[in-house]
């Protein structure tokens, strides 16, 4: 019997672009899906038009049912929480109040909670200690998943058998999930790459060119590795899909909200103007990552520069000049 047999019905909390895309991926893997949206209008659009408003031009099959009532997800065998990191606490608390404990909860958030310095699985475990937790991360755009384009990501849990079972249950020919027993490494890769994507966008926005971007990404990845290894991450995890793979994707494409945010900063927009009403997770992660690194004696000059720019303490050109003026040393 397959390890994935017990995960016949998947609950997805959050019907934004990424949540809808993951619901589609689970459906294509042969699972029944219950998709929860806070907005009743979103639920009605899915029911009537078979489309999620934030993932247009992609049809949602009848195997995906939509609801605005969290309790309707009670029969699900596993949950994917597809909300931003800064909203994960409220979502988890609501789930714990409305749903029975027992089924594993997979976070798809990529960040660190700004107020607490906690990673997604820590937030879930603190609020809902009765459930097993996992993290799903890696180089993936919602639009690509929605269109069924080939994508590979990582799913990690402290229990490797659980990670393997969930990965098998949610994988399909176009959506490949590799399993891992290193959730912290996967979480750190997903959080730090957003900060690096902002930095890469700034460099391109300033007109510094591709060579500068490549150098910045390489040095930024060295920061990611230092931070990750100091927090017990497996170096192999950081070199994998959820680390290096996601860095490559997010630092190279305007499809990345974080890269687009950095691009706008580099072109002279203020942090508020650069956001343009859209969420860039790295803008929340940079300050807490830099603060954590400083308190632990870990060098992260690029993350510190991004945090200072976002806080308005320094301009983009001044920040980049300071990075370029750092002492030369052995790589």
CA angle 124, 139, 172 (to 5 degrees): 85
Q: Please tell me the number of Cα atoms within 13 Å of 300 on its side-chain side.
A: 31
166 near 214, Cβ under 8 Å?
no
With residue 271 as reference, give the H or E element that holds it: helix 271-275
Largest pairwise CA distance in the chain: 61
Bridge partners, residue 32, by sequence? 9
193 given a catalytic annotation: yes
Candidate list 193, 269, 278, 329, residue with the active-site label? 193
Parallel, antiparallel, or unpaired for β 9-13 and 32-36?
parallel
10 near 170, Cβ under 8 Å?
yes
DSSP calls for 195-235: HHHHHHHHHHHTT-HHHHHHHHHHHHHHHHHHHHHHTT--H
Phi, psi of 289 (to 5 degrees): -65, -45
Q: Please tell me the number of Cα atoms within 13 Å of 59 on its side-chain side.
A: 3
Order of strands, sheet of 32-36, starting from the edge strand that comes earlier in the sequence: 64-67, 32-36, 9-13, 78-81, 105-107, 133-137, 151-157, 175-180
Catalytic residues: 193
């Amino acid at each position: 019997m397959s390890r994935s047999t017990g995960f016949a019905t998947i609950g997805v909390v959050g019907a934004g672009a990424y949540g809808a895309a993951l619901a589609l991926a689970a459906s294509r893997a042969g699972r029944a899906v219950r998709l929860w949206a806070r907005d009743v209008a979103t639920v009605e659009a899915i029911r009537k038009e078979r489309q999620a408003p934030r993932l247009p031009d992609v049809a949602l099959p009848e195997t995906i049912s939509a609801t605005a009532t969290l309790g309707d997800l009670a029969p699900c065998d596993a949950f994917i929480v597809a909300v931003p990191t800064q909203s994960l606490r409220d979502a988890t608390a609501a789930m714990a109040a409305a749903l029975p404990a027992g089924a594993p909860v997979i976070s798809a958030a990529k960040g660190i909670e700004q107020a607490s310095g906690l990673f997604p699985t820590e937030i879930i475990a603190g609020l809902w200690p009765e459930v097993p937790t996992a993290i799903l991360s890696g180089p993936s755009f919602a639009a690509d998943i929605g269109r069924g384009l080939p994508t590979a990501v990582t799913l990690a849990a402290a229990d490797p058998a659980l990670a393997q079972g969930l990965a098998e249950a949610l994988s399909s020919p176009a959506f490949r999930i590799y399993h891992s027993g290193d959730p912290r490494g996967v979480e750190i890769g997903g959080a730090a790459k957003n900060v690096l994507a902002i930095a890469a966008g700034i460099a391109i926005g300033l007109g510094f060119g591709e060579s500068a971007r490549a150098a910045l990404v390489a040095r930024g990845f060295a920061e990611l590795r230092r931070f990750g290894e100091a927090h017990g991450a497996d170096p192999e995890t950081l070199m994998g899909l959820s680390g290096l793979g996601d860095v490559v994707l997010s630092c190279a494409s305007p499809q990345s909200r974080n890269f687009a945010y950095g691009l706008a900063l580099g072109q002279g927009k203020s942090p508020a103007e650069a956001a343009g009403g859209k969420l860039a997770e790295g803008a929340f992660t940079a300050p807490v990552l830099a603060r954590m690194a400083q308190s632990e004696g870990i060098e992260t000059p690029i993350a510190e520069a991004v945090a200072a720019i976002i806080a308005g303490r320094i301009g983009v050109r001044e920040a980049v000049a300071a990075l370029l003026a750092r002492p030369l040393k052995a790589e």
